[in-house]
């Protein structure tokens, strides 16, 4: 089910078209924007003034009065920071619609080579550590390292979907669903194919 928040046009969508190419009228995002995003790495949402103009999540007045932010805004902050890291110095868009986190990491696993400084086994360990995280802060710490590896090999992912994964990781019930999505995509499991129905015998 799509929520109103899922229909918001996020920063990366302003620059990347549905086919994963730069929008002709925009081109790549400015380097100063990406630098501002990276300043948010490891820092709570709302504490980095350089990111304030880029937030698109609705403001929850009740939480604001308490000095808190919504799970949606916290997820958007983290996704912006990771996008700034992922896109840094890359000529092609690192936001690619419809590529889920687990799928991107699966591609990373397949492309990993010893001369890149990491092995497939190392990628497996990093993914398992991220998937085992029970706190969103730990999940983001592991995710930061994985995004750095994706950037090294130029592997893109869908940042709208990543934002939803980060948002879901903040609650135990939705965390289980996000973890399951990650595992199914990473290990490349496919639904069991149903056997075709047997043909009726021809009458004699």
The tally of domains found in the chain comes to 1
d(CA 184, CA 6): 22
For 163, the domain range is: 5-186
- pLDDT tens, residue by residue, 165-185: 999 999 999 999 999 999 999
β-bridge mates for residue 157, sequence order: 95
- pLDDT tens, residue by residue, 22-46: 999 888 999 999 999 999 999 999 9
Find out whether 22 and 15 touch, Cβ atoms under 8 Å. yes
- pLDDT tens, residue by residue, 51-73: 999 999 988 888 888 888 999 99
Domain-embedded: residue 175: yes
Nearest CA among 86, 78, 95, 97 for reference residue 153: 86
Q: Which two tokens stand for residue 51?
A: 């990111």
- pLDDT tens, residue by residue, 102-126: 999 999 999 886 556 678 899 999 9
CA terminus-to-terminus distance, the chain = 52
pLDDT value, residue 204:
46
Domain-embedded: residue 195: no
Domain-embedded: residue 194: no
Domain-embedded: residue 199: no
Residue 178, domain CATH: 1.10.520.40
Domain-embedded: residue 197: no
Domain-embedded: residue 176: yes
Domain-embedded: residue 193: no
Q: How confident is the model at residue 198 (pLDDT cuts 50, 70, 90)?
A: low
Whole-prediction pTM: 0.87
């Amino acid at each position: 089910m799509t929520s109103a928040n899922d229909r918001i046009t996020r920063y990366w969508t302003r620059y990347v078209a549905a086919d994963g190419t730069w929008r002709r009228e925009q081109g790549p995002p400015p380097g100063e924007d990406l630098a501002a995003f990276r300043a948010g790495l490891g820092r709570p949402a709302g504490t980095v003034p350089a990111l304030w103009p880029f937030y698109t999540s609705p403001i929850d007045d009740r939480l604001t009065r308490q000095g808190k932010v919504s799970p949606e805004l916290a997820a958007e902050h983290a996704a912006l920071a990771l996008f700034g890291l992922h896109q840094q110095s890359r000529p092609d868009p690192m936001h690619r619609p419809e590529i889920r986190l687990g799928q991107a990491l699966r591609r990373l696993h397949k492309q990993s080579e010893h001369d890149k400084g990491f092995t497939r086994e190392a990628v497996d360990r990093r993914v398992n550590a991220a998937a085992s995280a029970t706190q969103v802060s730990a999940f983001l710490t592991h995710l930061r390292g994985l995004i750095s590896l994706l950037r090294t090999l130029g592997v893109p992912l869908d940042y709208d979907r990543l934002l939803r994964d980060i948002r879901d990781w903040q609650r135990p019930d939705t965390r289980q669903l996000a973890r399951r999505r990650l595992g199914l995509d990473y290990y490349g499991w496919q639904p069991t194919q149903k056997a075709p129905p047997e043909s009726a015998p021809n009458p004699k």
